[in-house]
Amino acid sequence: MEILGASLRICVDDLETAVPFYERLAGGTALRFERGGVQVAAVGCFLLMSGPASELDLLRKVAATIAVEDVDEAHRLLTDLGARIIAGPVPTPVGRNLLAAHPDGTLYEYVDRRPPA
């Protein structure tokens, strides 16, 4: 499994205020979408999230979002290495993801940009 990159997950109170700062910082335009009542803006290596406190409390427990070529391959390797798959793979607005707890207990989201089969 090749790791293509990682995103820093940032929970913000006001996405509309935060996005222009991160767009200027990263030198790009945010890709926006909504998932489960949470508004998301991806810009550069930053993943900004804003929404209900109950949702953000859960999202804060995930250390990072890791981009991979294929979530199914990540699922197989993570399982072989002793990680516990919490959720997924499931479709997202831009591909698929899964949530895994590594053997040390740290939670990570793995994402790809492949449409669901």
Per-residue model confidence as pLDDT tens digits over 45-82:
999 999 999 889 888 999 999 999 999 999 999 999 99
Residue 115 pLDDT class (50, 70, 90 cuts): low
Does pTM surpass 0.85? no
Compute the average pLDDT of residues 8-20.
95
Residue for token pair 């997202």: 92
- Minimum mean pLDDT range among 15-19, 35-39, 49-53, 83-87: 35-39
Give the span between the Cα atoms of 6 and 63, in whole angstroms.
10
H or E stretch at 8: strand 3-11
Q: What is the pLDDT of residue 116?
A: 58
Q: Which pLDDT score, from 0 to 100, does residue 94 have?
A: 79
Strand-pairing partners, residue 38, are 35
Percent of the chain past pLDDT 90, that is, above it, reads 79
Q: Which string of DSSP letters, residue by residue, matches 17-83? A: HHHHHHHHHHTSPPEEEEETTEEEEEETTEEEEE--HHHHHHHTTEEEEEEES-HHHHHHHHHHTT-
The better pLDDT of the pair 24, 88 is held by 24
pLDDT for 30? 96
Terminal alpha carbon distance of the chain: 19
Q: What is the mean pLDDT of residues 74-100?
A: 93
